[in-house]
Amino acid sequence: MLEKVCKDSQMLADMFVNYDCDIDGPNLFERMVSALSRIAHGSQSADRAAVASSQTVSVKGSSIQCLVSILKSLVDWEQARRDSSNHGSVAESHDDGASARSLATDETKVQEDGRNQFERAKAHKSTMEAAISEFNRKPAKGVEYLLSNKLIENKASSVAQFLKSNASLDKVMIGEYLGQHEEFPLDVMHAYVDSMKFSGLKFDAAIREFLKGFRLPGEAQKIDRIMEKFAERYCADNPGLFKNADTAYILAYAVIMLNTDAHNPMVWPKMSKSDFVRLNTASDEEECAPKELLEELYDSIINEEIKMKDDLHAAKTSKVRPEIEEKGRLVNILNLALPRLKSASDTKAESEKIIKQTQAVFKNQGQKRGVFHVAQQVELVRPMLEAVGWPLLATFSVTMEEGDNKPRVVLCMEGFKAGIHLTRVLGMETMRYAFLTSLVRFTFLHAPREMRSKNVEALRTLLALADMDMDALQDAWTAVLECVSRLEYITSVPSMAATVMQGSNQISRDSVVQSLKELSGKPAEQVFVNSVKLPSDSIVEFFDGLCTISAEELKQTPPRVFSLQKLVEISYYNMARIRLVWARIWSVLAQHFIAAGSHHDEKVAMYAIDSLRQLGMKYLERAELNKFTFQNDILKPFVILMRNSRSEKIRGLIVDCIVQLIKSKVGSIKSGWRCVFMIFTAAADDENEYIVESAFENVEQVILEHFDQVVGDCFMDCVNCLIGFANNKCTSRISLKAIALLRICEDRLAE
């Protein structure tokens, strides 16, 4: 039955709207999830001796299934409501079967109320629950919280009414607050007592009624203030019964003392009737209570102790076993606790209890005839998930940590996927990030020795998210890409693959390693292929994350270039993006390629420079209009590396790369000429004759064959380059040729 409830998205939404959003109703939806979570954790109380191990496992599995079904139902609800043209409307039907009607006639107001009504109600209820919790810890601070959040008016009568009417308040703390001597709490106590009516009540009945709502504090001065006010109120409601309020005050205090004396087992010997009468009899008969009244009070207190409502309830439930003492809780109503054996007396007592509760419901049926809301708003999913998201995440995490039960692990993975999808759609960033980082942690790629099949499932789920729900990853791309990098490292290096599941049997190890190799293929590759589907902001984060991982790989011994290679690949995939986005991407890439091109390992540096050449060649395929400078930005890393590198091989490679770029893309180069000449100028100052000659040959060819292309904004860069060659340190032949080219430039410019 409960599984059916958890799979019914409409029922869950209606439950949340009509109970959890009702200030006077129980948090039924939240309690249900909390109870299921405790059972899944194994922390729900039960008679362990009467529960078989197989039953425990079965109930835990069923609880997790219910929790996952709840999340899936919320996903279904969200998708269905967004697809529905009628979302945002709320139909209301009365308990007496009246037809559904609109909340308001104004359409705009209906839509606005439909979006906010229940979310506001839930927020108000949550704030009220926080205030009650604060009051039950520190009453004065609780009242301050209530007033600061405008939950009650800043009046003593308003606070007093709140203390009287709220059943969730701790009765001990109410007594502590009412007994305080400060001005405002004292006014509240007076308002509290003045709101009570004692007309026609016997003295002991009045005291019993008075003390139902709170427990008297322990300090004598606090008791004195409270009973003094009670005496005043009793005398006002029953004029003529006592000569003055002093008599009522003394008698009230005496009744409290008698109640303690008679019913506290620590007090001995007990006070007799004659002692009680004598102690409350004064020399002036008019000043004291009649003897008959005193004897009547004594008998009443001896026969029936003065107790609060909570004391009466505790006395009844103390005879019941501890595991069923949560009266009215969902966990008991639906029998959610772990299976246990029941005696015949237990069964009979429980049946009688249910009958009494049912009778009470029918008796009170007419007291509150509210409106049943049939919810149809997608916005309801957010407060529902806010209420239960963290317990769900904790349950899935604990289940993953506890064991390697495959059905439960699969359920947890479904829960993670649903939770991440929902939090992404609803914009709940903190919770989304928590779900994602927990899932990443459970891959255990950082600790292959501890890896198990459940960690492979976590990795499979993460890669599936990267394929099917990429938008959900957002700021978690660095963590995801780190997993892909580690996966490649483990599967491509035999010594690392040998550490997987170390200490386990060979069959299990081989199975896990084979699964990892399968995931490192197409599933991992799709992470990069699908980068073209990412929106502009996300693709920049993707590149930034991959650069971060690549930088870490280059620090390893030996350095790895897996992510550096992937940077080139995804740059090719995303080359068609608009120039504005590419400018942001390149600001990230350029710095990383400069760092990689400066790597101490010459092979790595050369690989980075060659990768930079490939990107430059690819980007130069895009036409550039006049006055734009993005080509110059693309080639600028070559300039920095040429000037800073101490390796002749690296400098030679850079010149070769630029030569190749000119030969294949000379017609496309515009603003890029500036960087070309800056690189050749740096080459002119080189001490390696091959580098100088190679650079000059290309400068000469460009001037003789493509002068018209460089005569514009880059002419002075060309002249400075020739001056550099004229002053070169390697060969006078090149110096003379450079001077001749300067004259040619002068003549061409004059024409």
Work out the end-to-end distance of the chain between its first and last CA atoms, rounded to an integer number of angstroms: 94
A 10 A CB-CB count for 498 gives: 12
What single DSSP character describes residue 238? S
Answer for the pair 553, 560: CB distance below 8 angstroms, yes or no. Answer: yes
Cα separation values, 716 from 401, 638, 711, 742, 749, Å: 67, 20, 9, 11, 12
Answer for the pair 377, 80: CB distance below 8 angstroms, yes or no. Answer: no
Taking the C-alpha atoms of residue 107 and residue 103, their distance in angstroms, rounded to an integer, is 10
Which residue carries 């504005």 as its tokens?
A: 580
Cα separation values, 261 from 231, 270, 271, 338, Å: 21, 6, 7, 43
Handedness of CA 314, 318, 323, 327 (dihedral sign): negative
Taking the C-alpha atoms of residue 385 and residue 30, their distance in angstroms, rounded to an integer, is 10
> Which position among 182, 219, 304, 705 bears the catalytic label?
219
Give the Cα-Cα-Cα angle 139, 19, 127 (nearest 5 degrees): 30
Answer for the pair 665, 691: CB distance below 8 angstroms, yes or no. Answer: no
Q: What is the 3-state secondary structure (H, E, C) of 660-677?
A: HHHHHHCCCCCCCHHHHH
What's the length of the chain?
A: 751
Give SS3 for 311: helix
- List 371's β-bridge partners, or say none: 94
Taking the C-alpha atoms of residue 527 and residue 487, their distance in angstroms, rounded to an integer, is 13
**Is 552 a catalytic site residue?**
no
Answer for the pair 454, 409: CB distance below 8 angstroms, yes or no. Answer: yes
Which residues are part of the catalytic machinery? 219
